Amino acid sequence: MILIRRAGISLLIGLAWFSTMVGGCSNSGDADRAIRSALSKQLDRGVRLFRRATIDIDDIQPVARKFYQDRKFQPAWVTSRGPTDDARQLIQAIEDAPREGLDPKAYGWDSIQAGMKDVEAGLIGPAADARRLAALDLRLTRTFLGLAAHLALGQVNPRQIPADWHVDRPKLDLAGTLNEALQRHRVRDALLEDLPPKDERYGRLRDVLGRYREIAKNGGWPSVPPGASLRKGQRSERVKALQARLAASGDLGSASSAAFDAATEAAVRRFQLRHGLEPTGVAGDGELKAMNVPVERRINQIELNMERWRWRPAPIEGRYVVVNIPDFSLQVIEDERPVLAMKVVVGKQFTKTPLFSDEITYLVLNPFWNITQSIAANEMLPMAQKEDDYFERNAIRVFDGPGPDAKELDPRDVRWGSMSPEEFKYSLRQEPGPGNPLGRIKFMCPNQFDVYLHDTSAEHLFNAQERDFSHGCIRVEKPLELAEYLLNGKPDGDHEQLLAAIAASRDSSIKLPKSIPVHIVYWTAWVDDQGQAQFRDDVYEVDRVLDRALGRAGNTAWIEVEPRHTVWPQTPFKS
């Protein structure tokens, strides 16, 4: 009887399970329609009134709406029984986002997991409410779109921050990316493998970010107490602290004694080279200041530079010239390796060199300097008011206005003394010669900023560690070497012939046999081709501005849509 009763109970349980499954199948169409209806209503609520116009709450919403309209509001991430495997892949992608310098908390990782658990029906439990399922589906869609935009385009629109960034932005079909990821059931890989920048240098930064996070996880690196410079031959507790600091960042193999030995000196030089300091092997104030920057700040610096890499439309490849503002350096790159390197002088804080990409197409030998109106009125005029013969002594010619038809004037006939900068209406041009700030060669990359590379008569400026002295143009340390490289294949590219051409020329142009791309970039953290992490000071405060923008934006995604709206919601991933 017991066996029969047990069998009967088992049979009843089996029938109940079968009845539930049959009923579930018969009601699945109704449940699906209920979710689709709830999705349509929730998407309609994602708008707000602004000056009597109905606009989307943010730039994600129109993309999400189109995505659902195209699929007739069929849910993407849930069924009536709960989340799909694709939804779980999205959770994994959010969990792995820190490797790209992104914070999972910004995408509601914990609350999304809780929401998924909340609607999980299991085998015999009742199906979740259609509104909750729709809300979760919409939230997962918005999260995918936001994370995809951040990985491929960046978290911040550089046009909306004062970073003077003038590089074409990447373009991405976010809805198409989401559709393909769902159709192929490769949500995580579509996000983390396909969308981040493909440039090798971005990958190196990602690797070093992981290493520095490990250092932070293990307690960071120790600080070195302030005091007199530390050098070879000394022995003290401060030397021991120095060795421990160098060992923590991998510059020193091990810290075994309190003696400043040859290995410690070599480690200090290695650290100096990685931080743009003179490789003297002596740890002075500048070195200690750089060493005592916490590892968390270096991690933040790496993440900010990864963000700027995401602003670029494509990898920087092939043969090109790159000028890195914070490093005050120029490199010519071929096949991902530098073939020529030199120091540069860049714009001052108030006349910053803009960040852009263009092409060097021709050179000018012994150029005139057509002095800009602001320099003429604000800098040249005061000099002429102090020195009567200032213009003559400096071979500066005065014209009554701009353009080829302007009439040349005798500077002695102009009353400079009573003139204000606002009244200055003249054009100035300095003749070629040893005193001309442009030197002997000008490298032309025609652009909207009228910025170019050039030689200089003030060669002593290259001895400074921080070289932001110009009005925006870029002065190069080795103009002859750069010109010879660019003219390779032309008769004038030979060293002796180039010198002869310079001696005989006056504001004459030479077209390059092949134009070469030039990229003006702003990297305060990068990894060189020897695998060494490099850090530089934030000379234009671009890192500081970007860091504030990321915090202010609350990690919102921005997407360019038509018509274009620029809305910064505080909680972009909440349904």
Q: Which of 172-186, 253-267, 542-556 is least confident?
A: 542-556
CA count, 13 A, side-chain hemisphere, 492 = 22
Is residue 403 left, alpha or beta, with left meaning phi > 0 and alpha meaning psi from -120 to 50?
left
- pLDDT at position 162 is 72
How far is the C-alpha of 456 from the C-alpha of 436, rounded, in Å?
Answer: 8
pLDDT confidence band for 336 (50 / 70 / 90): confident
In the 8-state DSSP scheme, what is residue 58?
S
Q: Is 499 helix (H, G, I), strand (E, B) or coil?
A: helix
**Dihedral angle over CA of 255, 260, 261, 262, nearest 10:** 100
- pLDDT at position 167 is 82
pLDDT confidence band for 25 (50 / 70 / 90): very low
For 184-207, give the DSSP string: HT-HHHIIIIISS---HHHHHHHH
Cβ–Cβ < 8 Å for 254, 275: no
- pLDDT at position 2 is 38
Q: Which residues of 408-543 form beta strands (DSSP E)? A: 408-409, 427-430, 441-444, 453-454, 468-470, 474-476, 508-521, 525-527, 533-535
Can you say whether the dihedral through the CA atoms of 222, 279, 480, 497 is positive or negative? negative
Mean pLDDT, the chain, whole residue set: 86
Q: Is the pLDDT of residue 150 over 50?
A: yes
- pTM for this structure? 0.86
Cβ–Cβ < 8 Å for 141, 76: yes
- pLDDT at position 29 is 67
Q: Is the pLDDT of residue 571 over 50?
A: no
Q: Give me the amino acid identity at 394.
A: N
Name 92's Cβ contacts closer than 8 Å, sequence gap at least 6.
188
Q: Is the pLDDT of residue 250 over 60?
A: yes
- pLDDT at position 125 is 56
How far is the C-alpha of 138 from the C-alpha of 68, rounded, in Å?
Answer: 9
Q: Is 337 helix (H, G, I), strand (E, B) or coil?
A: strand
How distant is the alpha carbon of residue 384 from its chain centre? 43
Which one is predicted more confidently, 119 or 70? Answer: 70
What mean pLDDT do residues 359-369 have?
95
Helix axes 61-70, 2-44, angle to 10 degrees: 120
pLDDT confidence band for 564 (50 / 70 / 90): very low
How far is the C-alpha of 76 from the C-alpha of 112, rounded, in Å?
Answer: 15
CA count, 13 A, side-chain hemisphere, 319 = 8
Return contacts of 498-504, CB within 8 angstroms, 24+ apart.
501/365, 502/365, 502/366, 502/440, 502/441
What mean pLDDT do residues 213-239 have?
95
- pLDDT at position 258 is 85
Name 18's Cβ contacts closer than 8 Å, sequence gap at least 6.
none
Cβ–Cβ < 8 Å for 44, 68: no
Chain segment 40-92, per-residue pLDDT in tens: 888 877 665 445 445 556 788 889 999 999 999 999 999 988 899 999 999 99
pLDDT confidence band for 490 (50 / 70 / 90): low
The tokens describing 461, both together, are 């400026």
Q: Give me the amino acid identity at 213.
A: R
- pLDDT at position 260 is 95
How far is the C-alpha of 439 from the C-alpha of 476, rounded, in Å?
Answer: 10
CA dist 225 → 216, 244, 263, 278, 466 (Å): 20, 12, 20, 21, 25
Chain segment 495-538, per-residue pLDDT in tens: 888 888 888 888 899 999 999 999 999 999 999 989 999 999 99
Residue indicated by tokens 């020897």 = 530
What mean pLDDT do residues 237-260 have?
91
What mean pLDDT do residues 245-271 have?
92
Q: Residue 385 CB: number of other CB atoms within 10 A?
A: 13
Chain segment 282-306, per-residue pLDDT in tens: 999 999 999 999 999 999 999 999 9
Angle, CA of 343, 349 and 351, to the nearest 5°: 90
Q: Is the pLDDT of residue 14 over 50?
A: no
How far is the C-alpha of 302 from the C-alpha of 210, rounded, in Å?
Answer: 10
Tallying the residues shown for the chain, one arrives at 575
* DSSP element (H, E) containing 274: helix 262-274
How far is the C-alpha of 508 from the C-alpha of 574, rounded, in Å?
Answer: 62
Q: Is the pLDDT of residue 407 over 70?
A: yes
Q: Residue 383 CB: number of other CB atoms within 10 A?
A: 13
What mean pLDDT do residues 195-209 have?
95
How far is the C-alpha of 250 from the C-alpha of 210, rounded, in Å?
Answer: 14
Q: Is the pLDDT of residue 1 over 80?
A: no
Which one is predicted more confidently, 101 or 570? Answer: 101
What mean pLDDT do residues 242-256 have?
91
Q: Is 266 helix (H, G, I), strand (E, B) or coil?
A: helix
CA dist 245 → 224, 225, 432, 500, 531 (Å): 7, 11, 52, 54, 19
- pLDDT at position 57 is 60
Query: Which residue segments constitute the domains of the chain, with CATH numbers given?
Result: 42-218+534-575 (no CATH), 221-293 (1.10.101.10), 316-527 (2.40.440.10)
Which one is predicted more confidently, 465 or 7? Answer: 465
Angle, CA of 501, 506 and 509, to the nearest 5°: 70
- pLDDT at position 573 is 37
For 66-95, give the DSSP string: HHHHHTTT--SSEETTEE-HHHHHHHHHHH
- pLDDT at position 166 is 84
- pLDDT at position 46 is 62
- pLDDT at position 48 is 55
